[in-house]
Amino acid sequence: MRPMSKDREAAARAAALRAQLHHHAWRYYVHDAPEIPDAEYDRLFRELQALEAAHPGLRTPDSPTQRVLGSVLEGLAPVRHALPMLSIQTETDTGPGGAEAFDTRVRRELELAADAPPVEYAAELKFDGLAISLRYEAGVLVLAATRGDGETGEDVTHNIRTIGQIPLRLQGRAPKLLEVRGEVYMRRDAFRRLNEQQRARGARTFVNPRNTAAGAVRQLDPAVTAARPLSFFAYGVGELGGWTPPPTHSALLDALAAHGLPVCAERSVVHGWAGLMHFHDDVAARRDALPFDIDGVVYKVNVLELQQRLGFKTREPRWAVAHKFPAEEEATLLAGIELQVGRTGKLTPVARLEPVFVGGTTVSNATLHNLFELRRKGVRVGDRVIVRRAGDVIPEIVGRMPGARAHYVPNFRMPRACPVCGSAVVRERGSVEHRCSGGLYCAAQRKQALLHYAGRRAMDIEGLGDKLVDQLVDGGLVRTLPDLYGLDAAQLAALERMGERSAANLLAALEHSKHTTLARLLYALGIRHVGEATARDLARRFRRLDAIMNAGVEQLLEVPDVGPVVAQSIRTFFAQPHNREVLERLRACGVAFDEADAAAPAAPAPLAGRTFVLTGTLPGLARDEAKALIEAAGGKVAGSVSKKTDYVVAGGEPGSKLAKAHELGIAVLDEAGLRALLAP
């Protein structure tokens, strides 16, 4: 077989690259479901650019290098742009060379002498969202369209109207025609909340803010878009009528802001390539602190007359460039999956990765959130996977690279026993989370258990805070709760920032905590779903700890506000032999919860069956004190006013709860009125 010539080899490679880029652009733009990370797409694009530069005859009209990619979705009406929405060239050199290369090209095109003053530039952020055109006629929004292929986009007016940041009418004296161009995006915090809501419902989570925003804008049903927390920034203009724009791009953005359009404040006017690079470095240093994703910065010649002189080349303007940062998505090997047990007992599968540089740092671990998320993404050990790290977000696996597996790999399964302590692993009905039921016994939950046990509303051990708990656990002095009562003054005084006086105070607080109530002890144990109110209800119903420990689910369900989930959680906790052992050891240490008083006839409950809401500042009672008095008298304290509320107790500066009470006709008490109800 005759070997291929270099020209034929280049032609074959260019054809293959065009096919790949078209496919991936279709997946990215049309379906918002990319198969490869952005960095991989950029590498393929640059390879095709280099081939076409070396062999100009390979450049075809349908090459991705010759036009902006994208397609009109079926179901959305096409919109022809009066002025094309072109993309801009990308400088992938993230160092000074990228800024210097752009400045050199601009100076050459403008035929500036070597000693001419530096060029003035407008430097902005490169948002990671979806480009949108907003057409305002006589100040009223009449059309919103996506970029599409640059010549023809999609009419998404019905969806854009749901974005609160985008004005339906411009402020001030509006031009006859103003086409605003900008970016629809999703903030990081909004994206995290959206995915948390999805996980709580057991629904699929979204890949990243950019794809989520793009998918929301291109929905046929505006109700779907309205449910997604989208934002917008304006960054330029298209067609104009009846308006002469200011002489510079920076002043143009100021004018758009004056019309009520959101314009990003993270922008500067700089001079020469040194000014560009200073802006690039400054933004890169603060990138993680920004509330939204960016993948670089944008430089534009600031003077509009100079922009006109520079003009355009085939695919992009000569007067603008994007200077990128390190990619936030990369591909790597999933070498293994391990389990991490959190402070509250939640089991999280963690991917062990072949180290990869992404988002400005080397990543070797990434969260997989939970078993259901892992299954949805379809990743298994040995797969090539896409890793994303944006800002301060914990690195996560987005999905697997396409392609058949070399051999069969079984699905990851959650263990029946905790990998740290061997306790049973449980998952509540309807929940996506698996948890260790070890609680007090599990080393992974040890610090959290100690802090909760020592809390003011639990055993109230003053002086036992985060830093001291860290020292006690890390130094091996405390492994379980009863170990607290075996500490001596010498051990404590030897710890950092303790000393003899602090040690004596802590020992006194520990001794005082031994004399508590059954309700406080139950709450202090940290049983999942057992808060203060439930602990009090359990203590009133059973009166003795042994009775609660031995109660079946049916008996527990007889307690007010205890449903099947809470009852099963209590039963699971006391079914663990090591939890019972902890309680026996606490008893042996002298911890007594006044069972004699608990077994005595119940005190009068004048507020039994009544629901209260507290609002404002009471003159003689702190909020916690008032709540404790109401609950001790058999009442219930709720957080919001509803038709089920019996009384609203109002102090100074009561807020909206008081207005709601008046609206519903609910009785309002002051502190004196509350004390009168509490009187025997």
**CATH number, domain with residue 624:** 3.40.50.10190
Q: Are residues 360 and 433 in the same domain?
A: yes
Question: Which H or E run includes 232?
Answer: strand 231-241
Cα gap 447→471, rounded to integer Å:
10
Q: Decide: 626 and 616 in contact? Cβ < 8 Å.
A: no
User: How many distinct structural domains can be found in the chain?
Assistant: 5
Report the candidate in 325, 395, 442 with the shortest Cα–Cα distance to residue 42. Answer: 325
Average pLDDT over residues 469-490: 91
Cα gap 103→319, rounded to integer Å:
10
Q: Decide: 416 and 425 in contact? Cβ < 8 Å.
A: yes
Q: Decide: 433 and 346 in contact? Cβ < 8 Å.
A: yes
Q: Are residues 255 and 388 in the same domain?
A: no
Q: How far is CA 195 from the centre of its chain?
A: 7
Query: Would residue 467 show up in a list of annotated catalytic residues for this protein?
Result: no
585 occurs within a structural domain: yes
Cα gap 396→675, rounded to integer Å:
54
Domain span at residue 217?
A: 89-324
Question: What's the distance, Cα to Cα, between the start and end of the chain in Å?
Answer: 105
Question: Which H or E run includes 171?
Answer: none
Q: How far is CA 476 from the centre of its chain?
A: 35
Average pLDDT over residues 48-63: 83
On the question of pLDDT at 594 being above 60, the answer is no
Q: Are residues 42 and 101 in the same domain?
A: no
Q: Are residues 282 and 175 in the same domain?
A: yes
467 occurs within a structural domain: no
- Which of residues 324, 349, 380 is at a domain's end? 324
Cα gap 397→326, rounded to integer Å:
18
Q: What is the number of helices (H) and of strands (E) in the chain?
A: 25, 22
- Which of residues 324, 357, 389 is at a domain's end? 324
Q: Are residues 166 and 197 in the same domain?
A: yes
Q: Are residues 233 and 283 in the same domain?
A: yes
Q: Which residues contact 490 (CB under 8 A, 6 or more apart)?
A: none
Report the candidate in 163, 146, 178 with the shortest Cα–Cα distance to residue 70. Answer: 146
The CATH number linked to 15 is 1.10.287.610
Q: Are residues 286 and 345 in the same domain?
A: no
468 occurs within a structural domain: no
On the question of pLDDT at 236 being above 80, the answer is yes
391 occurs within a structural domain: yes
Q: Are residues 668 and 580 in the same domain?
A: no
Phi/psi of residue 493, each to 5°? -65, -25
The CATH number linked to 353 is 2.40.50.140
83 occurs within a structural domain: no
Q: Where are the beta strands (DSSP E) in 20-176?
A: 78-80, 89-91, 120-127, 130-137, 140-146, 152-154
The per-residue pLDDT for 184 is 95
464 occurs within a structural domain: no
Encode pLDDT of 160-198 as tens digits: 888 888 888 888 888 999 999 999 999 988 998 888 888
The per-residue pLDDT for 623 is 80
* Residue appearing with tokens 């000569």: 318
Encode pLDDT of 299-349 as tens digits: 999 999 999 999 988 678 999 999 988 667 889 999 999 999 987 789 999
The CATH number linked to 300 is 3.30.470.30
557 occurs within a structural domain: yes
Q: Which of 6, 126, 447, 660 is catalytic?
A: 126
pLDDT range class, residue 656, cuts 50, 70, 90: confident
Average pLDDT over residues 269-295: 91
Average pLDDT over residues 493-508: 89
Q: Are residues 105 and 250 in the same domain?
A: yes
